[in-house]
């Protein structure tokens, strides 16, 4: 029969032959692997033993089973003896399992009807000194393999057509890069961004290290490119609310908050000028004020203004004054359903809020001159509230002494996080240099635990900062005090290199706050069913070999959401994510082996523990029928559902309890002298 006919037979459950269950016809092939196996394990003896086992219709041994002649022997035996499954006792499943599986497939058998027994890595090699013991063990292992092969069932491989579109969640540097790369591959891409503008934190920065370039300039080709690309649909003020389906075919529900300003807005700014309401600007980190109807910053893309419904007092001045009649108070929240084949998650990070560290008095009355690095960036940037001048928030004077504190919210067992953000040393040194360059009379000191500046050009950057006279004090400040009479800030720290306690008089204290997962990732992560690690960042598939895949097939990660990183790392990862996300779409389908669990509803008590145990969320409760069901496409064949089930109702195909038990039965018995283990 051809493979297709076998698959059809399996699917329809009907047989062309009689309705009696067929007896398995097993072919056993034992490999010498040159000297590797045969020198330790008596392969002829094992072969003779194999012939005594029930349902074994053919058993032979050969020098190299994986070689061309070896494969020919297998194929010949399948044809001549009408075998329907094979057992090869040779090396590991990873090494040549696929070789033999492929070979039997060419003979019309389903590739899952092959059982691999590793008598090399697991027998001859670790037991070189004990030939008799190794041979006995090989016989037991073979019997176990034969037992296992008896009940194997064919597993079909399905080609599932993919929806030819991709979704990028987050339009910061990582998301934009990924979207741009996807569009260049011809993939229709949706970009969903919750803010009114794209560009993310990178647009808030003053300069980027180590070259002190202007990030707005660097990112501008990308933001404009994405906004104008005909393959990209950009949705701002939009959030992903729910995701259904699986890899290759996701259905995503996107909720769009209204701007209350139509697309014909010319960005003239008259509305803003006439708006009577002022609130702190979130994009400016609270350093300046904005109106209730506003554009976050001059270069914002999209350039359309947006009305903050909560701050607005509904005087309608903006509506009256708009020359393009673009203001539209009647706009409503919209839900859009988007269908895509793959998703890239690029929602970035938030800056850690140091309010938690009470000893640092961040945002407390009387301590206005304690700010974070992001707030410092907003002050120094061109066109800032201070016109790029470095000024103390309390009295507007230029600070004579600036002290920076590293590892705020990082590397801490008590507050914040245990991890090292890895970027703060560089951006603190960057900002210290900018201050020193522009205010040579201002003393700048950085209190650190370690200075971490790996990578090309970064050590040089650090050295240059030292040469500029920036002081580096090795110690983690315990407290920032304030002289009650003069108001002078004092950073209390021990210089651990000279073992001297210090009280550093500071006019301005800048806290290098950690990068933490964005607040929104809790609900978004659940909606996407991606796993997060203890820190809250989204967990990659493999920490070394696959940092771009998430735990869920079809969802890829780009940028800081997978862990704190700098811009070039984010950009690189975004390119990788775009490539992985595009591949199945460009190919047009994904291939999936239907190695899935089956549920015996006579035993299922509908408790739902299998649903919790399933790591890729491939098991769900069908609400209408109140029945537990399997999403065969998401299933990863891990088998965690089996032991979770109190009644044994759910069993992974080809890994059922009775099948593994058969395998164990042959291995658990003590070998007897001279003969095989079962009478």
Q: Is 94 in the site for other proteins (CB under 8 A)?
A: yes
Residue pair 28/142 in contact by the 8 Å Cβ criterion = yes
For 415, other C-beta atoms within 10 Å of its C-beta total 14
> Would you give the distance in Å from CA 177 to the centre of its chain?
17
Q: Is 40 in the site for other proteins (CB under 8 A)?
A: no
**Tokens of residue 494, six digits:** 């021990």
- Of 141, 312, 447, 528, which lies in the binding site for other proteins, with binding defined by CB under 8 A? 141
- Of 314, 669, 672, 675, which lies in the binding site for other proteins, with binding defined by CB under 8 A? 669
For 358, other C-beta atoms within 10 Å of its C-beta total 11
- Single out the segment in contact with other proteins by CB under 8 A; choices: 137-145, 222-230, 411-419, 516-524: 137-145
Q: Is 564 helix (H, G, I), strand (E, B) or coil?
A: coil
Q: Which of 70, 151, 147, 138 is nearest to 104 (CA)?
A: 70
> Would you give the distance in Å from CA 526 to the centre of its chain?
13
Q: Is 657 in the site for other proteins (CB under 8 A)?
A: yes
- Residue tagged 């992903």 (tokens): 240
**Tokens of residue 530, six digits:** 């991606």
Nearer to other proteins by Cβ, of 149 and 373: the residue is: 149
For 35, other C-beta atoms within 10 Å of its C-beta total 9
What secondary structure does DSSP assign to 508-539, as a single string?
EEEEEEPEE--TTHHHHHHHHT--B-TTSSBP
Hey, which residues between 10 and 29 contact other proteins (CB under 8 A)? none
Nearer to other proteins by Cβ, of 566 and 659: the residue is: 659
Nearer to other proteins by Cβ, of 480 and 650: the residue is: 650
Q: Is 663 in the site for other proteins (CB under 8 A)?
A: yes
- Eight-state DSSP code of residue 170: -
**Least CB distance to other proteins at residue 599 (A):** 13
Q: What does the per-residue mask of binding to other proteins show for 377-406, with x meaning CB under 8 A?
A: ------------------------------
- Eight-state DSSP code of residue 514: P
Q: What does the per-residue mask of binding to other proteins show for 627-646, with x meaning CB under 8 A?
A: ---------xxxxx-xxxxx
**Least CB distance to other proteins at residue 605 (A):** 4
- Single out the segment in contact with other proteins by CB under 8 A; choices: 66-74, 140-148, 267-275, 561-569: 140-148
Q: Is 238 in the site for other proteins (CB under 8 A)?
A: no
Question: From the DSSP assignment, how many helices (H) and strands (E) are in the chain?
Answer: 18, 34
- Single out the segment in contact with other proteins by CB under 8 A; choices: 67-75, 326-334, 427-435, 666-674: 666-674
Nearer to other proteins by Cβ, of 334 and 600: the residue is: 600
Q: Is 429 helix (H, G, I), strand (E, B) or coil?
A: helix
- Of 125, 297, 329, 589, which lies in the binding site for other proteins, with binding defined by CB under 8 A? 125
- Of 197, 551, 562, 570, which lies in the binding site for other proteins, with binding defined by CB under 8 A? 551
- Single out the segment in contact with other proteins by CB under 8 A; choices: 70-78, 365-373, 571-579, 607-615: 607-615
**Tokens of residue 440, six digits:** 């040579």
Q: Which of 329, 300, 324 is nearest to 312 (CA)?
A: 329
d(C-alpha 545, C-alpha 542), whole Å:
5
- Of 102, 397, 463, 542, which lies in the binding site for other proteins, with binding defined by CB under 8 A? 542
> Would you give the distance in Å from CA 152 to the centre of its chain?
34
Angle, CA of 469, 377 and 223, to the nearest 5°: 130
Q: Is 112 in the site for other proteins (CB under 8 A)?
A: no
Q: Is 615 in the site for other proteins (CB under 8 A)?
A: yes
**Least CB distance to other proteins at residue 674 (A):** 16
Count residues contacting other proteins (CB under 8 A)? 61
Nearer to other proteins by Cβ, of 282 and 657: the residue is: 657
- Of 46, 59, 103, 134, which lies in the binding site for other proteins, with binding defined by CB under 8 A? 134
Q: Is 66 in the site for other proteins (CB under 8 A)?
A: no
For 596, other C-beta atoms within 10 Å of its C-beta total 19
Hey, which residues between 255 and 274 contact other proteins (CB under 8 A)? none
Q: Is 320 helix (H, G, I), strand (E, B) or coil?
A: helix
Q: What does the per-residue mask of binding to other proteins show for 502-531, with x meaning CB under 8 A?
A: -----------------------------x
Rg (C-alpha) for the chain, rounded Å, is 33
Residues contacting 399, CB < 8 A, separation 6+: 369, 390, 391, 392, 442, 506, 507, 508
**Least CB distance to other proteins at residue 238 (A):** 29
Hey, which residues between 217 and 236 contact other proteins (CB under 8 A)? none
Residues contacting 165, CB < 8 A, separation 6+: 187, 188, 189, 190, 338, 339, 340, 341, 585
d(C-alpha 178, C-alpha 189), whole Å:
10
- Single out the segment in contact with other proteins by CB under 8 A; choices: 18-26, 235-243, 560-568, 597-605: 597-605
Residues contacting 303, CB < 8 A, separation 6+: 265, 267, 295
Q: Is 128 in the site for other proteins (CB under 8 A)?
A: yes
Residues that bind other proteins (CB under 8 A): 92-94, 118, 120-122, 125-130, 133-134, 136-137, 140-141, 144, 531, 533, 542-543, 551, 602-603, 605-609, 611-613, 615-616, 636-640, 642-648, 652, 655, 657, 660-661, 663-665, 667-670
């Amino acid at each position: 029969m051809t493979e297709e006919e076998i698959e059809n037979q399996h699917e329809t459950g009907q047989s062309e032959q009689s309705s009696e269950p067929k007896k398995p016809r097993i072919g056993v092939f034992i490999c010498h692997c040159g000297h590797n196996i045969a020198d330790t394990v008596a392969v002829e003896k094992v072969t003779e033993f194999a012939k005594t086992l029930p349902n074994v219709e053919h058993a032979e041994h050969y020098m190299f089973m994986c070689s061309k002649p070896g494969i020919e022997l297998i194929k010949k035996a399948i044809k001549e003896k009408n075998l329907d499954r094979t057992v090869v006792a040779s090396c590991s499943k990873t090494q040549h399992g696929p070789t033999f599986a492929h070979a039997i497939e060419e003979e019309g058998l389903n590739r899952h009807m092959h059982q691999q027994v590793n008598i090399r890595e697991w027998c001859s090699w670790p037991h070189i000194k004990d030939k008799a013991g190794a041979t006995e063990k090989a016989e037991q292992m073979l019997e176990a393999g034969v037992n296992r092969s008896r009940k194997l069932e064919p597993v079909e491989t399905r080609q599932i057509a993919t929806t030819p579109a991709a979704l990028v969640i987050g339009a910061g540097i990582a998301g934009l890069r990924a979207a741009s790369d996807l569009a260049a591959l011809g993939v229709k891409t949706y970009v969903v961004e919750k803010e009114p503008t794209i560009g993310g934190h990178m647009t808030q920065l003053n300069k980027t290290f180590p070259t002190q370039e202007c990030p707005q300039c660097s990112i501008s080709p990308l933001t404009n490119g994405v906004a104008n690309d005909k393959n990209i649909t950009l949705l701002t003020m939009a959030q992903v609310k729910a995701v259904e389906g699986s890899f290759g075919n996701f259905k995503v529900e996107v909720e769009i908050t209204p701007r209350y300003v139509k697309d014909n807005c010319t960005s003239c700014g008259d509305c803003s000028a006439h708006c009577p309401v002022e609130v702190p600007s979130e994009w400016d980190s609270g350093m300046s004020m904005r109106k209730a109807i506003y554009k976050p910053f001059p270069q914002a893309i999209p350039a359309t203004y947006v009305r903050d419904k909560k701050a607005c007092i509904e005087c309608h001045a903006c509506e009256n004054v708009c020359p393009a009649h673009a203001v539209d108070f009647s706009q409503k929240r919209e839900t859009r359903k988007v269908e895509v084949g793959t998703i890239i998650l690029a929602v970035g990070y938030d800056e850690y809020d140091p309010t938690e560290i009470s000893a640092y008095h961040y945002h407390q009355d009387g301590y206005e001159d304690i700010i974070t690095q992001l707030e410092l960036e907003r002050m120094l940037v061109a066109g800032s509230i201070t016109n790029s001048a470095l000024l103390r928030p309390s009295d507007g004077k230029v600070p004579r002494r600036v002290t920076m504190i590293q590892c705020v919210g990082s590397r801490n067992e008590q507050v914040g996080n245990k991890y090292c953000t890895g970027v703060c040393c560089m951006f603190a040194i960057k900002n210290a240099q900018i201050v020193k360059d522009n205010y040579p009379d201002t003393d700048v000191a950085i209190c650190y635990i370690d200075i971490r500046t790996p990578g090309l050009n970064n050590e040089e950057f650090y050295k240059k900062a030292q040469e500029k006279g920036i002081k580096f004090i090795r110690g983690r400040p315990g407290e920032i005090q304030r002289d009650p009479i003069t108001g002078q800030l004092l950073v209390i720290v021990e210089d651990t290199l000279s073992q001297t306690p210090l009280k550093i008089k500071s006019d301005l204290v800048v806290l290098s706050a950690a990068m933490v997962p964005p607040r929104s990732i809790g609900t978004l992560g659940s909606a996407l069913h991606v796993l997060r690690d203890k820190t809250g960042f989204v967990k990659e598939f493999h920490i070394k070999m696959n940092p771009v895949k998430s735990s869920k097939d079809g969802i890829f990660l780009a940028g800081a959401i997978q862990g704190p990183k700098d811009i070039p790392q984010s950009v690189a990862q975004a390119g990788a994510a775009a490539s992985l996300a595009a591949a199945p779409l460009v190919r047009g389908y994904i291939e999936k082996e239907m190695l899935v669990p089956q549920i015996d509803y006579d035993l299922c008590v509908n408790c739902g523990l299998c649903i919790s145990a399933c790591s890729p969320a491939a098991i769900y409760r069908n609400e209408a029928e109140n029945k537990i069901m399997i999403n065969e496409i998401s299933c990863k064949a891990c088998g965690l559902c089996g032991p979770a089930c109190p009644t044994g109702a759910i069993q992974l195909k080809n890994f059922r309890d009775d099948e593994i038990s058969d395998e164990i039965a042959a291995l658990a018995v003590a070998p007897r002298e001279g003969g095989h283990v079962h009478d």
